[in-house]
Amino acid sequence: MAEDVARAKVLVVEDDPEVSRLIARKLNADGHELEIYDDPKPVLERLGTGGAWDVVILDVGLPGMSGIDVLHRFREAGSLASIIMLTGDHSAATATTCMRAGAFYYLTKPFQPFELSAMVESAARYARLRLQLAGAPPIQDDASDSMLVGTAAGMRKLRSAVARLGSQDVSILIQGESGTGKELVARALHERGTRRAGRFVALNCGAIPESLIDSELFGHTKGAFTGATTDRPGVFVEAEGGTLFLDEIGDMPVAVQARLLRVLQESEVRPVGGNGVRKIDVRVIAATHVDLSAAVEQGRFRQDLFYRLNVVVLDVPPLRDRLDDLPMLAAHFLKKHGGKSPPSLSPDALEVMAGYAWPGNVRELENALMHAIALHHDTVIRPESLPAQIGARSRSSSQGIKVPAFEGDNELLPLTEAKRRASAAYERSYLVRVMEKAKGSVSEAARLAGLDRTNFRRLLQRHGLEPTTFK
């Protein structure tokens, strides 16, 4: 299992040793933590006293007690685990019974290992969402910060760096795509530092006209230019004793960069139209979504200013590289914007969100959930309440794919199961096509698919596809 994929605690209750071995072999390879029983009695004895599992895999035909009855006992005990039912019965009636009893999904035997992996991953994701909505504290390390939600490797590394750097007055450059939360990182550094009693002042350098940016940064005197009817201190003076966050500094005009460099070197500002200077004591944290090294080579950013700001670099990962944080982030925003009784997300809605690329990152996620909260019905947000662009990929995925809505006896499958099978079939077909086009190169295929290599490899493993077979 890739380093950034969250481990799940999985309970398996299956009396067929061969099936148990198959499950154990696959889920252990995926990196999950397993407990396996062939009898439900010892499991039921632990309900309410322990066994905080994320996913439970239950065989329908257990000795002495039906798996459906065990499922009912889990739900009566208030377990938040996602329960996957295993059955050798291919009839839709059995599937419907499982789903109505509160199962997350059901899986018919024999099943493919990649099907099991995909289902357990989805089930664990949904269990984490339910746990967060139920009020459980985020599972984070000792260096966690309440402003930085997430347990993915990139976020753990970022929080650890924030904890170490908060009390140090070194220059910090925060890099990340738009919407990843660079200002939250800067605020966390401020709150963890010795300047937390002072003000935190943020300025977006790319949102201010070039004619006004000097005034915004350094202040101006009355009459310095048309419209300057009063003195203005500027953000350096406003942040005295605290932290000044210069966002999107890569968009700052080159001429202004020279004046900013002098302020940083001399620790003093001269307001526009003024004759005197004022000493300042401010910590400056800068952020950018552009490659400043490339901007220096192209002459769009001063090299001396780059070195002045580039003492320590913090990288904020994009949301597509930390999709295991999606349940925690979604629960965070549902609680933040959902009122006293925030809605939940249906499993289908969460899967649609997990399949989206999130070009606008965490900011887009927050806006999408605010949109869904405003338009949803009852207590659950379903895919149709999400913004149209998020569901577009899910809808287009089924085009040209024969949806397996019926079993061999022509009984209708539950919608959730039919969609899962259609999605799995399309996903595998897509991976085969893109690997063929890339001639077996994982890096090139990941680029064509718009995914990072780690997540792309995980998809190949999930579907049992070996890159060497495409070369």
Rounded mean pLDDT, 397-424: 55
Instruction: Render pLDDT for 146-175 as a digit per residue (tens, 0 to 9).
Output: 457 777 888 889 989 998 998 888 889 999
Please report how many Cα atoms fall inside a 13 Å half-sphere around the Cα of residue 251, on the Cβ side: 16
The 10 Å Cβ neighbour count of residue 247 is 22
Q: What's the pLDDT band for 224 if we cut at 50, 70, 90?
A: low
- In the predicted model, is pLDDT for residue 395 greater than 50? no
Mean of pLDDT values over 83-103: 79
Q: In this prediction, what percent of the chain has a pLDDT beyond 90?
A: 32
Q: What is the pLDDT of residue 52?
A: 81
Between 107 and 416, name the one with better pLDDT. 107
Examine the pLDDT at 272 and tell me if it is beyond 80: no
What integer is the mean pLDDT of 103-114?
Answer: 83
**Bridge partners for 244 per DSSP:** 201, 284
The reported pLDDT for the residue numbered 394 is 47
pLDDT given for residue 143 in this prediction: 36
Tell me the CB-side half-sphere exposure of residue 254, using CA atoms within 13 A: 10
Q: Compute the distance between CA of residue 180 and CA of residue 185 in angstroms, rounded to an integer.
A: 10
Please state the φ and ψ torsions of residue 406, each to the nearest 5 degrees: -125, 145
What is the reported pLDDT for 433?
84
pLDDT value at residue 397: 43
pLDDT at 336 over 50: yes
Percent residues over pLDDT 70 in the chain: 86
- Of 145-159, 256-270, 403-417, which gets the smallest average pLDDT? 403-417
With 50 as the cut, is the pLDDT of residue 208 above it?
yes
Q: How many degrees, rounded to 5, is the angle at CA 88 between CA 84 and CA 89?
A: 100
> At 370, is the pLDDT very low, low, confident or very high (cuts 50, 70, 90)?
very high
Q: Is the pLDDT of residue 3 over 90?
A: no
Take residue 117 and report the two structure tokens written for it.
Answer: 């992996």
- Local confidence band at 265 (pLDDT 50, 70, 90 cut-offs): very high
Q: What pLDDT does 145 receive?
A: 46
Of residues 371 and 461, which shows the higher confidence score? 371
pLDDT for 13 beyond 50? yes
pLDDT band at 188 (very low <50, low <70, confident <90, very high): very high
- Taken in order of first residue, the domains within the chain and their CATH numbers are 1-136 (3.40.50.2300), 153-316 (3.40.50.300), 398-471 (1.10.10)
CA distance 208 to 252: 9
pLDDT for 460 equals: 84
Question: pTM, whole model, 2 decimals?
Answer: 0.68
pLDDT at 5: 47
For residue 227, what are the CA distances in angstroms to 224, 268, 347?
Answer: 9, 25, 56
Specify the range with the lowest mean pLDDT, choosing from 8-17, 150-159, 298-307, 398-407.
Answer: 398-407
- 142 confidence band (pLDDT: 50, 70, 90): very low
Which carries the bigger pLDDT value, residue 327 or residue 92? 327
Note the pLDDT of residue 2: 39
3-state class (DSSP) for residue 397: helix
Q: Let me know how long the chain is.
A: 471
Confidence of residue 7 (pLDDT cuts 50, 70, 90): confident
| Angstrom distance (rounded) from CA 289 to CA 307 | 17
**Mean pLDDT over all residues of the chain?**
83
Residue 55 has which token pair?
A: 């996913």
| pLDDT on residue 97 | 78
Cβ 322 vs Cβ 150: under 8 Å = yes
Comparing 6-10, 86-90, 139-143, 368-372, the range with the smallest average pLDDT is 139-143
Residue 396 pLDDT > 60, yes or no? no
Answer with the residue of higher pLDDT: 115 or 204. Answer: 204
